Amino acid sequence: MPALNRTEAETRARLIDVHHYTIDLDLTRGAEVFGSTTEITFTALAAGDTFVEVKPDTLHRVVLDGRELDPRDLDDNRLPLTLAAGEHRLLVEADMRYSRTGEGLHRFTDPADGLTYAYTQLFMEDVQRVTAAFDQPDLKAVFDVTATAPAEWTVLGNGISERIPDGEGRWRISTTPPISTYLLAVAAGPWHSVRTEHAGLPFALHCRRSLAPHLDADADELFDITRRCFDRYRELFTEPYPFDSYEQAFVPEFNSGAMENPGLVTFREEFVFRSAVTDTERQTRGMVIAHEMAHMWFGDLVTLRWWDDIWLNESFAEYMGFQVLSEATGFTGTWTDFAVARKGWGYDADQRPSTHPVAPDAEAVPDTASALLNFDGISYAKGASALRQLVAWIGEKDFLAGINDHFARHRFGNATLADFLDSLARSTDRDVHAWAAQWLRTSGVDTLEPVVADHPGGWQLEIRHTGSRPHRIDIGLYDRAPADPARLVPRDRVRTDLTGTAAPQPLTLPGRRPDLVLLNDGDLSFAKIRFDQRSWTTVAEALGGLPDALSRAVAWNAARDLVRDGLLHPAAYLDAARTQLPREDDLAIVQGVLGFARTHVADRYLPADQRPAALATLSALARDLLHSPADGLRLAAVRSLIGSSDDTAELRDWLTADRIPGGPALDPELRWRLLLRLAVLGRADGDDIAAELVRDPSASGEESAARCRAALPDPQAKESAWAALFDDDTLSNYLFNATAQGFWQPEQHDLLRDYLPRYYPAAVTLAARRGPALAEAAGRHAFPAYAVRPDTLRLGRECLRSDEPTPALRRMLADQLDDLDRALRVHAAAAETAPTR
């Protein structure tokens, strides 16, 4: 499928003005294809040639202004059109193919009850898999959608849906206001629905019928969050909510976290919790709800003109999601969660060769294929951090005034970075254009390091600033409590502005030097921070004694960066976690530190011969955390203990008893975790997996079973999993991911050795054959990340030089190889130093 390039889009936007789509879908033609009939009315502003996009299984008929065109003129996904100036009407009739990879119209049959569902995910350019369209974001139009579905199905869409009287299985979706093609949404199936009304609008939740009890259990919480966030956005934004309903559908095998379709937000159905979760995971779900709701204004009402400005969608929704959830609901720790769970994603992405500015130049995003690669930690986490810094710099009042000016000027239209900056400039006396040039048009992470010295009458602090951005930060000053050196007492918090250009001016402060100088306390900016030696000693011995969770998150992130940069021995990070985490009561921090310690420190940053000791440390830490009175902390501890234990007899006893002493009763998610660990360690077999699947025959159970089967340390099991991944195209996207996640295991290196050189050519071939979603999955989940070896790196670099991977796979491989190279550097640095800084 040729990628649409920017020049083509600009040319087409000058030539045509699209008014209206009338789309009729027939979902009764079997399991492989569906019918799509599309009528588009548009105006050619001058005579000229252009094209409409469609990706059919079979193109039956094309009619332009009553004149039949030859369907054989379709060139891949482009149907050429020669136009006279004036009004036009285009009719396209086709059979389209259902997707099994989460792109286009994805079809899924529930293994629990045999019921079938279909939903669209049309982002970037996949609308062409469902309907003919002039597929670019600045050709907005009004949509009218009807559909024919099996009699027992419900059809949902961007507006209020109604069954057409006397039309068996016929549904009509209300007319939309002007929206971009990628925002069209349809979801069809025997949905379980919970409905209510708020602010005069219908609200609804939808899921598969087999998940109905779980959705019903959480419906009150989900509606409460939705209502509270909706009301807060109405307070913040002068522009009213622009659509006629607000429905949320939790759909199976969804590739993203969620999608901001106007009026029908789709979420990955993992947010319908089947098993026990922590409050932090509930907070994450709430943030995603708030994030997607922000898109109703940032992205849906006002849409980017071209994909270089995706930050106008994602960075704003990310920032507003965390901020509004904290303001409107009981989830007040959102920015701690952001610091722990999202900030590292941004820092990591911004230090790879694939980094890019938050708002890249137009030349850097020449087509849709390159644009798709920019949906990453920079566009989300770094962009949101930049906006948080902007708010700290200009103030929330001016920030909101600029946003509302932007909405008013571009409602139901398209806008650029320049448009937004002009709106901000009208609302503040700050030079926001200069700020944007320094923050949004540059890449890379700044580093801030304190230099502390004695000074007559007090002490002196100099901040060494590596980088060029201005930063407004708070500096936290802390002392150890005299009666309890493990507890830190705040002395002061000093706000300072770093220009990024002038030489730093030392601060002279009264009294003795503090035990801890914490730069960027409160996490207002996006920068790596370092410690002076005395501060690091305090952190290592008393980090858990910092009184504020966000301050502790900043310190843990700094320790994480020190490990990644080879400045702190990985074992020292584990020691800090072992001593400080038992004092931690913030779930986001506990989960974040345990996750980094397990997947990065133990599995990648320490040599293989030190991994057993690291896992033993994590097991001991998890057992300590089991004594916590908080259910969420005990659940996090149980998950960590299962993943780090190598005591197969104990693991088997827990599975048999259906309980871990001190922990919760085992639910399906925990039982599958236990079985996976036993499979990895060679103490489970195919019969065990089959028996557990009988116990949990759900879609999640099928995925877990696939993960466990691929993890078995058996040559036949590995070869079977490999063939399913790379030779057989029947796996859906989720089953592919699960199989890939089970395949590579550090404990099985000898068994897996011969697969390492097979991975790269197999992934390249798969990506070319199965498309971007599976290409990304092959690079993300099927990559042998555990194999921190020079030959893994060498083979990968050879692949990038010679094997011509698709853009989606190339980006994933480039990032994975950069992470692998970093891990090798951490190994080398650790070999030269003792396990202390």
Catalytic residues: 292
| CB-CB contact of 419 with 499 (8 Å) | no
Tell which residue, 436, 385, 429, 425, has the closest CA to residue 403: 425
Residue 61 pairs in a beta bridge with: 93
Report the alpha-carbon distance of residue 347 to residue 352 in Å, rounded: 9
| CB-CB contact of 156 with 264 (8 Å) | yes
Report the alpha-carbon distance of residue 496 to residue 667 in Å, rounded: 50
Report the alpha-carbon distance of residue 468 to residue 447 in Å, rounded: 10
What strand order describes the sheet that includes 516-519? Answer: 484-498, 471-481, 516-519
Report the alpha-carbon distance of residue 5 to residue 180 in Å, rounded: 17
| CB-CB contact of 382 with 358 (8 Å) | yes
Q: What are phi and psi of 570, to 5 degrees?
A: -55, -35
Tell which residue, 771, 335, 314, 298, has the closest CA to residue 553: 335
CB under 8 Å to 666, separation ≥6 — which residues?
654, 655, 658, 659, 660, 674
Tell which residue, 70, 57, 62, 58, has the closest CA to residue 91: 62
What's the Cα-to-Cα distance from 321 to each of 232, 331, 551, 586, rounded to whole Å?
11, 12, 21, 20
Report the alpha-carbon distance of residue 144 to residue 157 in Å, rounded: 10
Tell which residue, 216, 211, 177, 173, has the closest CA to residue 191: 211
CA 684 to chain centre: 33
The residue type at 90: L
Q: What are the structure tokens assigned to 327, written together? A: 């303001």
The b/e string for 139-177 (b: 16+ C-beta within 10 A; e otherwise) is bbbbbbbbbbbeeebbbbbbbbbeeeeeeebbbbbbebb
The H-assigned helical ranges of 483-543 are 533-542
Report the alpha-carbon distance of residue 560 to residue 590 in Å, rounded: 14
Q: Look at strands 201-207 and 246-251 and give their pairing.
A: parallel
What's the Cα-to-Cα distance from 162 to each of 146, 175, 265, 399, rounded to whole Å?
10, 12, 18, 40
Tell which residue, 724, 729, 688, has the closest CA to residue 705: 688
CB under 8 Å to 609, separation ≥6 — which residues?
none
8-state DSSP, 784: -
Chain position carrying tokens 């921190």: 788
